[in-house]
Protein backbone atom coordinates (compact mmCIF):
# COMPACT_ATOMS: atom_id res chain seq x y z
CA UNK A 1 0.00 0.00 0.00
CA UNK A 2 1.12 3.53 -0.78
CA UNK A 3 0.71 5.83 2.23
CA UNK A 4 -1.05 9.00 1.11
CA UNK A 5 -1.24 12.00 3.43
CA UNK A 6 -3.93 14.66 3.06
CA UNK A 7 -5.73 17.26 5.17
CA UNK A 8 -9.33 17.56 6.30
CA UNK A 9 -9.93 21.04 4.83
CA UNK A 10 -12.89 21.38 2.48
CA UNK A 11 -10.63 22.35 -0.42
CA UNK A 12 -8.84 18.98 -0.25
CA UNK A 13 -11.99 16.88 -0.04
CA UNK A 14 -12.71 17.11 -3.75
CA UNK A 15 -9.32 15.51 -4.45
CA UNK A 16 -9.68 12.63 -2.00
CA UNK A 17 -13.42 12.02 -1.72
CA UNK A 18 -13.42 9.21 -4.28
CA UNK A 19 -10.44 7.58 -2.54
CA UNK A 20 -11.95 7.89 0.94
CA UNK A 21 -15.20 6.32 -0.19
CA UNK A 22 -13.62 3.71 -2.48
CA UNK A 23 -15.48 5.04 -5.49
CA UNK A 24 -12.49 4.25 -7.69
CA UNK A 25 -9.90 1.51 -7.64
CA UNK A 26 -6.70 2.41 -5.77
CA UNK A 27 -4.06 1.05 -3.44
CA UNK A 28 -3.69 3.99 -1.07
CA UNK A 29 -3.69 3.99 2.70
CA UNK A 30 -5.16 7.46 3.27
CA UNK A 31 -3.94 9.36 6.34
CA UNK A 32 -5.32 12.78 7.32
CA UNK A 33 -3.34 15.17 9.53
CA UNK A 34 -2.92 18.93 10.04
CA UNK A 35 -0.81 20.47 7.24
CA UNK A 36 2.26 21.06 9.41
CA UNK A 37 2.28 17.47 10.69
CA UNK A 38 1.78 16.12 7.20
CA UNK A 39 4.91 17.90 5.97
CA UNK A 40 6.92 16.36 8.81
CA UNK A 41 5.56 12.89 8.08
CA UNK A 42 6.52 13.22 4.42
CA UNK A 43 10.00 14.44 5.28
CA UNK A 44 10.48 11.57 7.74
CA UNK A 45 9.17 9.13 5.09
CA UNK A 46 6.31 8.04 7.32
CA UNK A 47 4.13 8.61 4.25
CA UNK A 48 4.97 8.23 0.57
CA UNK A 49 2.90 11.03 -0.91
CA UNK A 50 1.58 14.15 0.79
CA UNK A 51 -0.61 17.13 -0.04
CA UNK A 52 1.87 19.66 1.26
CA UNK A 53 2.08 23.47 1.23
CA UNK A 54 4.11 24.82 -1.65
CA UNK A 55 6.34 26.68 0.82
CA UNK A 56 7.40 23.27 2.15
CA UNK A 57 7.94 21.92 -1.36
CA UNK A 58 10.38 24.74 -2.08
CA UNK A 59 12.56 23.71 0.86
CA UNK A 60 13.12 20.16 -0.40
CA UNK A 61 15.13 18.90 -3.38
CA UNK A 62 14.11 15.25 -3.24
CA UNK A 63 10.39 15.65 -3.84
CA UNK A 64 8.65 15.38 -7.19
CA UNK A 65 5.16 16.72 -7.86
CA UNK A 66 2.13 14.77 -9.08
CA UNK A 67 1.12 16.25 -12.45
CA UNK A 68 -2.23 17.88 -13.24
CA UNK A 69 -3.24 18.44 -9.60
CA UNK A 70 -2.99 21.41 -7.25
CA UNK A 71 -5.03 23.43 -4.81
CA UNK A 72 -4.84 26.95 -6.18
CA UNK A 73 -6.82 30.09 -6.90
CA UNK A 74 -6.91 32.87 -9.45
CA UNK A 75 -8.25 35.95 -7.71
CA UNK A 76 -10.44 35.55 -4.64
CA UNK A 77 -10.01 32.35 -2.66
CA UNK A 78 -12.28 33.15 0.35
CA UNK A 79 -10.39 30.80 2.69
CA UNK A 80 -7.08 32.66 3.12
CA UNK A 81 -8.08 35.99 4.61
CA UNK A 82 -7.05 38.65 7.06
CA UNK A 83 -9.63 39.94 9.51
CA UNK A 84 -8.60 43.47 10.41
CA UNK A 85 -9.70 46.20 12.79
CA UNK A 86 -8.57 48.84 10.27
CA UNK A 87 -7.07 49.13 6.79
CA UNK A 88 -4.66 46.29 5.97
CA UNK A 89 -1.81 48.75 5.39
CA UNK A 90 -2.23 50.13 8.90
CA UNK A 91 -1.80 46.83 10.77
CA UNK A 92 1.14 46.65 13.17
CA UNK A 93 0.47 43.23 14.73
CA UNK A 94 -1.09 40.23 12.97
CA UNK A 95 -1.91 36.83 14.48
CA UNK A 96 -1.15 33.92 12.16
CA UNK A 97 -2.22 30.28 12.21
CA UNK A 98 0.63 28.22 13.61
CA UNK A 99 -0.41 25.33 11.35
CA UNK A 100 0.17 27.38 8.20
CA UNK A 101 3.33 27.77 6.13
CA UNK A 102 2.42 28.82 2.60
CA UNK A 103 -0.29 31.21 3.74
CA UNK A 104 1.89 32.88 6.38
CA UNK A 105 4.60 33.32 3.77
CA UNK A 106 2.01 34.77 1.38
CA UNK A 107 0.95 37.23 4.08
CA UNK A 108 4.58 38.29 4.50
CA UNK A 109 4.91 38.82 0.75
CA UNK A 110 1.79 40.98 0.71
CA UNK A 111 2.76 43.08 3.71
CA UNK A 112 6.52 43.36 3.30
CA UNK A 113 7.09 43.23 -0.47
CA UNK A 114 3.85 44.45 -2.04
CA UNK A 115 3.14 47.10 0.63
CA UNK A 116 6.63 47.74 2.04
CA UNK A 117 5.55 47.27 5.66
CA UNK A 118 7.08 45.46 8.64
CA UNK A 119 4.31 44.27 10.98
CA UNK A 120 4.86 41.79 13.80
CA UNK A 121 3.46 38.28 13.36
CA UNK A 122 2.22 36.32 16.37
CA UNK A 123 1.76 32.56 15.98
CA UNK A 124 -1.48 31.39 17.60
CA UNK A 125 -4.00 28.59 17.78
CA UNK A 126 -6.50 30.29 15.51
CA UNK A 127 -9.36 27.91 16.33
CA UNK A 128 -9.60 29.32 19.84
CA UNK A 129 -11.72 32.33 20.79
CA UNK A 130 -10.17 35.75 21.11
CA UNK A 131 -7.85 35.51 18.10
CA UNK A 132 -8.04 39.29 17.68
CA UNK A 133 -7.23 40.02 21.31
CA UNK A 134 -4.17 42.23 21.53
CA UNK A 135 -3.56 42.37 17.77
CA UNK A 136 -4.69 44.57 14.90
CA UNK A 137 -5.61 41.69 12.63
CA UNK A 138 -5.52 37.93 12.23
CA UNK A 139 -4.99 35.62 9.29
CA UNK A 140 -7.46 32.76 8.95
CA UNK A 141 -7.07 29.80 6.60
CA UNK A 142 -9.07 26.79 5.51
CA UNK A 143 -12.57 26.22 6.83
CA UNK A 144 -12.11 28.86 9.56
CA UNK A 145 -11.30 31.48 6.95
CA UNK A 146 -14.22 30.43 4.77
CA UNK A 147 -16.66 30.71 7.67
CA UNK A 148 -15.53 34.22 8.58
CA UNK A 149 -15.50 35.36 4.96
CA UNK A 150 -19.25 34.75 4.81
CA UNK A 151 -20.08 35.62 8.43
CA UNK A 152 -22.85 38.22 8.22
CA UNK A 153 -22.25 39.17 11.86
CA UNK A 154 -18.57 39.91 11.28
CA UNK A 155 -17.82 43.58 12.02
CA UNK A 156 -14.18 43.47 10.87
CA UNK A 157 -12.68 44.28 7.49
CA UNK A 158 -11.95 41.19 5.38
CA UNK A 159 -8.96 41.05 3.03
CA UNK A 160 -8.55 38.15 0.62
CA UNK A 161 -4.87 37.26 0.14
CA UNK A 162 -5.53 35.27 -3.02
CA UNK A 163 -7.17 38.30 -4.59
CA UNK A 164 -4.27 40.55 -3.58
CA UNK A 165 -1.68 38.08 -4.97
CA UNK A 166 -3.37 37.81 -8.38
CA UNK A 167 -3.92 41.57 -8.50
CA UNK A 168 -0.21 42.18 -7.93
CA UNK A 169 1.24 39.37 -10.09
CA UNK A 170 -1.44 38.45 -12.62
CA UNK A 171 -0.83 34.80 -11.69
CA UNK A 172 -2.62 32.01 -9.83
CA UNK A 173 -1.48 31.25 -6.31
CA UNK A 174 -0.80 27.59 -5.62
CA UNK A 175 -1.39 26.61 -2.00
CA UNK A 176 -0.63 22.90 -2.09
CA UNK A 177 0.47 20.05 -4.34
CA UNK A 178 0.85 16.31 -4.00
CA UNK A 179 4.56 15.72 -3.38
CA UNK A 180 6.16 12.29 -3.83
CA UNK A 181 9.16 11.07 -1.86
CA UNK A 182 12.24 10.08 -3.82
CA UNK A 183 12.24 6.42 -4.79
CA UNK A 184 8.47 5.92 -4.42
CA UNK A 185 6.87 4.15 -7.36
CA UNK A 186 3.20 5.04 -7.66
CA UNK A 187 2.36 2.71 -10.53
CA UNK A 188 -1.38 2.72 -11.22
CA UNK A 189 -1.91 4.96 -8.19
CA UNK A 190 -0.72 7.94 -10.21
CA UNK A 191 -3.68 7.55 -12.51
CA UNK A 192 -5.89 6.88 -9.48
CA UNK A 193 -4.99 10.30 -8.01
CA UNK A 194 -5.85 12.06 -11.25
CA UNK A 195 -9.03 9.99 -11.60
CA UNK A 196 -10.00 10.88 -8.04
CA UNK A 197 -9.70 14.59 -8.85
CA UNK A 198 -11.83 14.21 -11.98
CA UNK A 199 -14.38 12.08 -10.13
CA UNK A 200 -14.62 14.73 -7.44
CA UNK A 201 -15.21 17.45 -10.01
CA UNK A 202 -18.04 15.36 -11.40
CA UNK A 203 -19.84 15.00 -8.06
CA UNK A 204 -18.98 18.39 -6.58
CA UNK A 205 -22.62 19.05 -5.65
CA UNK A 206 -22.68 15.87 -3.54
CA UNK A 207 -19.39 16.76 -1.88
CA UNK A 208 -20.62 20.27 -1.07
CA UNK A 209 -23.77 18.83 0.49
CA UNK A 210 -21.91 16.24 2.57
CA UNK A 211 -19.13 18.53 3.76
CA UNK A 212 -21.43 21.48 4.52
CA UNK A 213 -23.16 19.36 7.15
CA UNK A 214 -19.84 18.32 8.68
CA UNK A 215 -18.25 21.76 8.93
CA UNK A 216 -21.35 23.89 9.50
CA UNK A 217 -21.12 26.07 6.39
CA UNK A 218 -24.09 26.54 4.04
CA UNK A 219 -24.06 24.25 1.02
CA UNK A 220 -24.26 27.17 -1.44
CA UNK A 221 -21.10 28.66 0.08
CA UNK A 222 -19.29 25.32 -0.09
CA UNK A 223 -20.38 24.81 -3.70
CA UNK A 224 -19.27 28.30 -4.74
CA UNK A 225 -15.95 27.72 -3.03
CA UNK A 226 -15.33 24.36 -4.69
CA UNK A 227 -16.41 25.47 -8.16
CA UNK A 228 -15.59 29.19 -8.44
CA UNK A 229 -12.78 29.84 -5.98
CA UNK A 230 -10.56 26.77 -5.77
CA UNK A 231 -8.82 25.55 -8.93
CA UNK A 232 -7.43 22.04 -9.14
CA UNK A 233 -5.19 22.01 -12.21
CA UNK A 234 -1.40 22.25 -12.34
CA UNK A 235 -0.56 23.76 -15.70
CA UNK A 236 1.80 26.32 -17.12
CA UNK A 237 0.28 29.32 -15.31
CA UNK A 238 0.21 27.53 -11.95
CA UNK A 239 3.87 26.58 -12.36
CA UNK A 240 4.66 30.23 -13.19
CA UNK A 241 2.86 31.15 -9.96
CA UNK A 242 5.01 28.74 -7.95
CA UNK A 243 8.18 30.10 -9.55
CA UNK A 244 7.12 33.69 -8.80
CA UNK A 245 6.34 32.68 -5.22
CA UNK A 246 9.85 31.23 -4.88
CA UNK A 247 11.36 34.45 -6.21
CA UNK A 248 9.50 36.58 -3.68
CA UNK A 249 10.25 34.14 -0.86
CA UNK A 250 13.94 34.37 -1.74
CA UNK A 251 13.68 38.13 -1.28
CA UNK A 252 12.51 37.34 2.27
CA UNK A 253 15.31 34.75 2.68
CA UNK A 254 12.66 32.05 3.10
CA UNK A 255 13.47 29.89 0.06
CA UNK A 256 15.75 29.57 -2.92
CA UNK A 257 14.65 30.73 -6.34
CA UNK A 258 13.65 27.98 -8.73
CA UNK A 259 13.25 27.97 -12.51
CA UNK A 260 10.97 24.92 -12.70
CA UNK A 261 9.47 22.18 -10.57
CA UNK A 262 10.22 18.46 -10.71
CA UNK A 263 7.13 16.71 -12.10
CA UNK A 264 6.75 13.04 -11.08
CA UNK A 265 7.22 10.47 -13.82
CA UNK A 266 8.07 6.78 -13.86
**Who contacts 91 (Cβ-Cβ below 8 Å, separation ≥6)?**
82, 84, 85, 111, 117, 119, 136, 137
Q: Is the dihedral of CA 118, 122, 127, 133 positive or negative?
A: negative
Q: For residues 83 and 148, is the Cβ–Cβ distance under 8 A?
A: yes
pLDDT: which is higher, 4 or 62: 4
pLDDT at residue 24, as a whole number: 96
Please report, rounded to a whole number, the percentage of residues in the chain having pLDDT higher than 90: 82
Dist. CA 197–CA 239, nearest whole Å? 18
Top-tier CATH class for 80-169:
alpha beta
Closest CA to 63 of 79, 76, 51: 51
More confident residue, 112 or 255: 112
pLDDT of 229 higher than 90: yes
> Would the pLDDT of 154 be above 90?
no
The domain made up of 2-72+173-251 is a member of CATH 1.10.645.10: no
Q: Burial letters for 10-29: b for 16+ Cβ neighbours within 10 Å, e otherwise? A: bbbbbbbbbbeeeeeebebe
Report the sign of the C-alpha dihedral through residues 241, 141, 152, 85, in that order: negative
What pLDDT is attached to residue 79? 94
Query: Does 35 have pLDDT greater than 90?
Result: no
**pLDDT score at 127:** 65
Delimiting residues of CATH 3.40.190.10 domain(s) in the chain? 2-72+173-251, 80-169
C-alpha–C-alpha distance, residues 161 and 138, integer Å: 12
In this prediction the pTM is 0.95
pLDDT band at residue 125 under the 50/70/90 scheme: confident
Whole-angstrom Cα distance, residue 245 to residue 229? 19
Q: Using pLDDT thresholds of 50, 70 and 90, give the confidence band for residue 98.
A: confident
- pLDDT reported for residue 203: 97
* pLDDT attached to residue 128: 61
Q: What is the per-residue pLDDT for 183?
A: 95
Amino acid sequence: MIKLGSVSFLNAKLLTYALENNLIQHEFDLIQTPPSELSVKLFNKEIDVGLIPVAELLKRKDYSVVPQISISSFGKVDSVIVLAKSDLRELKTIAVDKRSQSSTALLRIVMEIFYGLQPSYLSRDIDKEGVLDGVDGTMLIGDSGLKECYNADNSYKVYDLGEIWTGETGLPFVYAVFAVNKGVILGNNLEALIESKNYGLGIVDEIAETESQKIGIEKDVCLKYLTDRIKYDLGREEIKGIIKYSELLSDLNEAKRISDINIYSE
